[in-house]
Amino acid sequence: MSIQIIHMFIILPYLVLISNGLPEPCHLIDPFKNNNVETVINKFDYQVCQKGCTPTFSQFNKWGKESLVDPIVNSMIEKMGLPIVPSITHDITNHIANEIRDACLGTMKEQNICEGKMLDIFGQCLKENIVPVTLSQVEPYSAFITEEMCKKAKQYVEGEELWTRVIPGAFDEYAARCKIP
C-alpha cells in the first residue's frame, strides 16, 4: 500500500469525525428569548431613527454590519474564548451581512428603514434569518468549537449584556456619524 493510500485511510475518517458540525448547544442558541430582537428594534428606532438618521436597506452593509453583525459576532467569539482573527471574523461578518441584506432587501432597496413599518418588516426578516445564516457561516469552523464554547455563546446571546450594552453602544456609534438630511 502506498503512503498516500494509508494517509487517506487515516486522515479521511478523522476529517469525517471533526466535520460533524457544531456542538448541540450552538444549535440551541435562542436570540429571541426575552424579546431581544424587539428590544433591539425599539432601541434602533430610539437611538438611530429618532436622531434623524435615514438608513436604507441597500446600505445595510454599512449600518447593519457595523452596528449589528460585527458587535454580535466579535463579542460572541470573544466570550467563547476563541481568538479574534481579523481576516476570519471580517469574512464571517461580511457573509452574514450580505446574506441578511439579500434576504431582507426585496423591493425596499432605497426605502428609509426608519419610515412607517419598514423597521418592523426588517425585524421580522432578521428573526427569520439571523440564526440560520450565522450558523451556516460558523459551521466551517466547527472543528475548533467545543461544547463548552457553545454553552458560553448561548449564555451570552440569551443574556442581557449583548442586547442592552453591546448592540445599543454600536447603535450610538452609528448614529453619531450618520449623515442627517
For the chain of 181 residues, list the mean pLDDT of each consecutive stretch of 10.
Answer: 41 40 84 80 92 86 82 85 82 87 78 88 84 83 86 89 89 86 67
Measured CA to CA, the distance from residue 31 to residue 103 in angstroms comes to 18
Which tens digit of pLDDT belongs to each residue from 95-111? 888 888 888 877 677 88
Which tens digit of pLDDT belongs to each residue from 47-74? 999 999 999 887 887 788 888 888 888 8
